[in-house]
Amino acid sequence: MLKWQVVAQLLVIPILTMAASGIKLESGDGKCLLDAGTVPPADLARYDHYRIYNVQFDNQEQIELFQKLEEQSDSLTFIGHAREIGQKLSILVAAHRVADFADLLKTYKLKYRVLTYNFQEKIDRNMREVLPESIDATKYDWQHFFHLKTIYGWMDAMAKQHPNLLTVLDMGNSTQGHTIKGLKLSSNPENKAIFIESGIHAREWIAPATATYIINELLTSQDAGVQGLAKNYNWIIFPCVNPDGYKYTFEHDRMWRKNRQLFGTCRGVDLNRNYPDHWNSTGSSSDPTRYDFAGPSAGSEQETQCLLQFIRSNVQKEQIKTYIALHSYSQMLMFPYGYTKERVSNYDDLQEFGKKAAAAIKAESGRDYVSGSLYETIYPSSGGSMDWAHAEAGIPIAYTFELRGPPDSQDLFILPAVEIQPTASEAFTAIRTIVEAAAEKGYYN
């Protein structure tokens, strides 16, 4: 047998074996080389047997250890950063790192709890709560989660049902060409306006769900107080200001956070670190592989530029006096600043309004929300939309809401659908309380 025949035979045997096993071979350009008649699995990130640990730092050595660990490992997803003694921090640990991580906790005597032993189970449950993309807009509700296309379809349908009140807004296109769509509810062009953005972090599905709930309440509620809010203020609401990322969480990776801009071998900018207000000065990263990558420059991203331009063009014309950014999780009502302990000029008012809103939530549902400046309440961060809206655009009432669950949530960002309605109701109660309290102090005069 000739030498080339031997080589050919050695190549053919494994190929035939793989074909018999139902394996498809692909070339570098993704084209199938050998089709055994099988359907390839979807390109889905999986988190089988990933664990969520909630650890507590009792000394500086432990803090420094975990700061190094976050920098060195891409198998650990930190929900925040190790900063101070007494802090509790949740960390999602890949299955193949569980043994090493457990040994580290034992060696350095860290206190901890395991919140979840198999994170994929939560994702699987969550995906079963998503209705099909093609569902009719009349079937839209707040007991399920919905694809971007479905949300936009519902918004269009609502605008057709309420042509005298609603206007569909187009903020512009995302990095991958998706429309950033919003709704304006207005019964009087002279009203002061309240601006709400949500979905800037793709995996926080409860935020767009809450935004659409608020739109629906303003249109359909029989409560006289809510009807007054709809009549006396104009509402500009964009449920998903990161449409590319949101779409990606449904189709590929439920835990994706950033946009989908390409940087060589990785993708994504944390859009809530990309705004031109003390950009990349604290609580963000210059590394494109990190979840809090601030981008190559301030305001670099298409989605950021769309929102900047919209606010700059409309803050005076629409008389925008309130800016609300919806996020999850941790149950917090936060106001500027995120980058410094320095207090805004109306700190006392914002603190008062936030505490009133937290008390209103407590009275409604029994849930505990904390209020304070972002820097004091959650962790230092820069380049956020709220800080920019307050400091640069001059919007006096500015808040970032971290919705359910609690800081030690077992679900992280995978909130069950049964929580949508009560969570959204809490958020709307908080917004209503803040607006009413601010009105009493003349902010909308």
Say which residue the tokens 């958020």 belong to. Answer: 427
Structure tokens belonging to residue 360? 């209103």
Query: What count of other Cβ atoms lies within 10 Å of the Cβ of residue 267?
Result: 19
Query: Of the residues 217, 318, 402, 426, which is catalytic?
Result: 402
Rounded alpha-carbon distances, angstroms, from residue 273 to 235, 236, 315: 25, 22, 21
Query: What count of other Cβ atoms lies within 10 Å of the Cβ of residue 431?
Result: 23
Q: Is 402 a known active-site residue?
A: yes
Classify the phi-psi angles of 172: left when phi > 0, otherwise alpha if psi is within -120 to 50, otherwise beta: left
Counting every residue written for the chain, the total comes to: 445
Q: How far apart are CA 413 and CA 432, in angstroms?
A: 25
Q: How far apart are CA 433 and CA 384, in angstroms?
A: 24
Residue type, position 214, single letter = I
Q: Which residues are catalytic?
A: 402
